[in-house]
Amino acid sequence: MDLSALLPPGRVLDDPDVLRSYSHDEAEWAPWELPAAVVRPRTAAEVQAVVRHCVEHRIPVVARGAGTGLSGGANATAGCVVIALDGMRAIKEINPLEKLAVVEPGVVNDDLRAACAEHGLWYPPDPASSPWSTIGGNVATNAGGVCCVKYGVTGDYVLGLQVVTGTGELVRLGRRTAKGVAGYDLTSLLVGSEGTLGVITEVTVRLRPRRPVEHTVAGYFSSVVAAGVAVERIAAAGLTPSALELVDRQCLIAVDEWKNMGLSADADTVLLGRTDAPGQAGEAEADALLACFDDAGATWSARSTSAQEADALFDARRLAYPALERLGPVLTEDICVPVGRVAEMLGRIQAIGLRHDTRIANIAHAGDGNLHPLLLTAVGDEDGKVRAQAAFADIITEALDLGGTVTGEHGVGLLKRDGLRRELDPAVLALHRAVRSALDPHHVLNPGKVFEQETS
């Protein structure tokens, strides 16, 4: 039976230009193929019908949200069906009493946060792509963000899921209650699984009360390593800022050239800190952050004098990646190291750039050790591409050597499969494959992603 016969008119797309636009995410140089079709469902029942059809005919299924991923996790394979969930945008419920929301996977992160704010509530996970990325995609990669140094990542807020399994069943996982330990924690298993264990059709998330106004501090440093030392001093002082972000000069220049924000005149590297402790505690914590900046050798530090100024600084942090993209291909890393090794890892990244003659810019969720080296090449520079890929591999090696991980929030997808095999013991990889086979026995869900797996 043709897919079009299973769904309402307009749901199945097969125009080659449309297929191409849904064929890959934002991961530079991650391989992709044209899918056989793109399906844009509007209901969980429609998703289920598509998955059942694909299971019956052993057709690969690739689920995607807004396509903002940076690991190739949503890239199409030849002959697959892409299920684009960006059209499922309903915020079904915001419950102030239970402090939860129920949303479809295509809801944009910032749209959910704005809707929650109307009820005096807050959804904390805030990836840099929050104006565009969807909740379903955030769940699929267990996305982090600016405030996760204090408030955690997406998985810390997922209470329950509605999922179409690899056998075509539509099931509910998790709970709505504040506590619950009935059975295995299958909800957490699905979070971060990158579409390899099921297709998410609904998400129930935990909310928090709206927080106090944040105090913002900034410090200029002579190098990324010096800024890394400040990060370590902050952790050693027992401080937990609500954000602690690093932006180097290359990123600031790119943002200034694009948006003319005037941020790159005086600093090699900027650290941006925030605290949302209430009242006098917030004032004291902001002062303590500044003291750590100065103790680590900041060339300048100050508290922001206005909310507009503070927001502009963090806007520049969010704009860094798209600003660099305007200059040419950007291969994005996503390593995470212990906070006590941040300065050392930043130094190693600089050495790797020199060794491979590769320009590397740096942004980071520095407060929790999640570093995003951005490897830059010129359009059409094939030799530069090879050097950048070698540098990419070396950064992973160095992160693992320091006790880190290959991905803090972007997921494994295609780009980090080799790194994952190096990070995990073979017996642990076998456990992953066993779980995947149990939930997707026909191996139709996002095949080839995360780790290689034989198909039946």
Name the more confident of 203 and 319. 203
Read off the pLDDT of residues 98-123 as tens digits, 9 standing for 90 and up.
999 999 999 999 999 999 999 999 99
Quote the pLDDT of residue 307. 81
pLDDT surpasses 90 at 292: yes
- pTM across the whole model: 0.94
Beta strand 91-95 with 121-122: parallel, antiparallel or unpaired? unpaired
Helices and strands in the chain: count of H runs, count of E runs:
14, 19
Name the more confident of 268 and 205. 205
Whether the CA torsion 260, 264, 269, 274 is positive or negative: it is negative
Q: How confident is the model at residue 205 (pLDDT cuts 50, 70, 90)?
A: very high
Mean per-residue pLDDT, 417-426:
96
The contacts of residue 409 (CB under 8 Å, 6+ apart) are 127, 141, 142, 143, 144, 145, 148, 153, 334, 336, 365, 370
- DSSP letters for 161-195: EEEE-TTS-EEEEE-SSS----S--HHHHHTT-TT
d(CA 163, CA 187): 10
Read off the pLDDT of residues 228-237 as tens digits, 9 standing for 90 and up.
999 999 999 9
d(CA 9, CA 12): 8
Q: Are 221 and 297 in contact (CB under 8 A)?
A: yes
State which amino acid sits at residue 62: V
- DSSP letters for 279-335: HHHHHHHHHHHHHHHHHTT-SEEEE-SSHHHHHHHHHHHHHHHHHHHTTS-EEEP-E
Read off the pLDDT of residues 58-112 as tens digits, 9 standing for 90 and up.
999 999 999 999 999 999 999 999 999 999 999 999 999 999 999 999 999 999 9
Beta strand 158-164 with 100-103: parallel, antiparallel or unpaired? unpaired
Quote the pLDDT of residue 265. 67
pLDDT surpasses 60 at 1: no
Helices (H), 23-106: 44-57
- DSSP letters for 226-254: HHHHHHHHHHHTT---SEEEEEEHHHHHH
What count of other Cβ atoms lies within 10 Å of the Cβ of residue 20? Answer: 14
pLDDT surpasses 50 at 454: no
